[in-house]
Amino acid sequence: MLMVPTFDADARVKLTAAAAPRAESRAAFEEQYGGVAYPTVEELCADPSVEAIYIATPHQMHVDHVLAAARAGKHILVEKPLAISMEDAETMVAAANEAGVHLIVGPSHSFDPPVELAAQLIASGKFGQLRMIQALNYTDFLYRPRRPEELRTEEGGGVLFSQAIHQIDVVRRLAGGMGEKIYAMTGAWDPKRPTEGAFTALMNFEGGCVANLTYSGYAHFDSDIWMNDVGELGQRKLAGAYGDARRALMDLDPDDEARLKTTRTFGSGKTVDAKHNEHFGPVIALCDRADLKLTPDGVEVFGDTERGFIEVTFGPAPRRTVNDALVAAVRQNKAPVQTGAWGLASLEVCHAILQSASTGQPVDLRQQCKTNEEEQTG
């Protein structure tokens, strides 16, 4: 449901077919778009009218669906994370490469226009070398409606695979991609939600930049307060909504909670009324001659002697940069930053966080990749 407003607002993209196991979703798609809705992904992949497939299925299904699309010769936009296991992710990247199709991993918040602007400012060298990145986010993520598997780490549950991946993507985008080592701790503090709900990590990059990443999905404090009261999806936070997530889960059993989660699926849920660019909490990049603070509306620049703001306009669609990447891949054969290899590298960091938290030791990163800009210049 979060991508629907973007698809609808972009004349370059036509939704012509879909696949979903729920009859309600299939009927809603056919009524809204007049296309064909199939009960299986394989039937969708066989549709000759389809040029690219957007895969928004649960994490554990990504590998089968990406492989089906690649075998059918379709370009692929797959939701983050690329997969749960590194082995599956490597298989997916290899399959896309062998089929000669583009595999784009997203949307993640590394696509957010303010992140892209900050990355360009850093890469330009205008403010000297990037030295440090601070990224943090405090949300009630773990108390929003979840299917049972979303609370089991081994099935991709918890904050690492669903939330940390955003923060990792953002930080890697700003720092050029080549992480070297990470040291991390995680928290699993609620027996009723038996998975990691928080983490903090230190990560260093080729070139000397060090990043601090902190996330809590248990939070009572809402870090959107520091983002001008704009929510993660670009919506204005509603007054009086504090505590809604926890209230909604009170006295619900797992079946009721899973049914509540379906209100976010196509044909059942409501789209988000975004008025600003999306974000993933406060991010500050510290360079030699300026510090860059990312906001939903642009980048605030704190220079040596002057302070300024570079605006990033919103629209015409909330996630237009994702469509930009998809259209460029399909029409111009141009790979985005967030390729399959990029998604694999970010997934490696998720697993490294879990490994470091378990062993108490730093973990070397071995499957990192540079951004396209870094590849071209370095």
Q: Burial of 139 by CB count in 10 Å (0-12 exposed, 13-18 middle, 19+ buried)?
A: buried
DSSP class of 10? -
Superfamily of the domain at 110-313+359-377: Dihydrodipicolinate Reductase; domain 2 (3.30.360.10)
Alpha-carbon distance of 143 to 80, in angstroms, equals 20
Residue 374 has pLDDT above 60, yes or no: no
Rounded to 10 degrees, the C-alpha dihedral 13/14/16/18 comes to 50
- pLDDT(47) > 90: yes
User: Which residues have CB under 8 Å from 360's CB, separation 6+?
Assistant: none
Distance CA 52, CA 330 (A): 8
- Average of pLDDT values for 71-88? 98
pLDDT at 241: 86
Q: Please, which residues have CB within 8 angstroms of residue 68's CB and are 6 or more apart in sequence? A: 41, 42, 45
DSSP reduced 3-state for 94: helix
Length of the chain: 378
Contacts of 158 by beta carbon, 8 Å cutoff, 6+ apart:
142, 150, 151, 152, 188, 195, 196, 197
pLDDT at 290 exceeding the cut of 70: yes
Residue 316, preceding peptide bond in cis (omega within 30° of 0): yes
Over residues 99-121, mean pLDDT:
97
For the cut 50, the answer to whether the pLDDT of residue 378 exceeds it is no
Q: What would the mean pLDDT of 163-187 be, rounded to a whole number?
A: 98
Residue 191 in this model has a pLDDT that exceeds 60: yes
- Per-chain mean pLDDT for the chain: 93
pTM: 0.94
CA within 13 Å, CB half, 242? 10
Q: Widest CA span of the chain, in angstroms?
A: 61
Q: What does the pLDDT average to over 195-220?
A: 98
Can you tell me the distance from the alpha carbon of 55 to that of 106, in angstroms, rounded to the nearest whole number?
A: 10
pLDDT tens figures, 257-271: 666 666 556 666 567
Each residue of 96-118: b (16+ CB within 10 Å) or e? beebebbbbbbbbbbbbbbbbbb
Sign of dihedral through CA atoms 186, 367, 134, 335?
Answer: negative
Q: Which amino acid is at 102?
A: H
Q: How many C-beta atoms lie closer than 10 Å to residue 246's C-beta? A: 13
CA 197 to chain centre: 17
Rounded Cα–Cα distance for residues 221 and 140 (Å): 9
Flag whether pLDDT at 342 surpasses 70: yes
Which residue is associated with the tokens 């906001």? 295
Give the least confident one: 12-26, 124-138, 231-245, 295-309: 231-245
- Give the count of beta carbons closer than 10 Å to the beta carbon of residue 332: 8
Cα-Cα end-to-end distance for the chain? 39
Higher confidence at residue 368 or residue 256? Answer: 368
* Rounded distance between C-alpha atoms, residue 62 and residue 85, angstroms: 11
The Cα–Cα gap between 103 and 96 comes to 6
CA nearest neighbour of 110 among 278, 308, 228 = 278
Please say whether the beta carbons of 207 and 239 come within 8 A: no
Residue type, 349: V
Q: Could you tell me which of 115, 8, 62, 51 has the C-alpha nearest to residue 337?
A: 115
How far apart CA 356 and CA 362 sit, in angstroms, is 6
Q: Are strands 210-216 and 75-78 parallel, antiparallel or unpaired?
A: unpaired
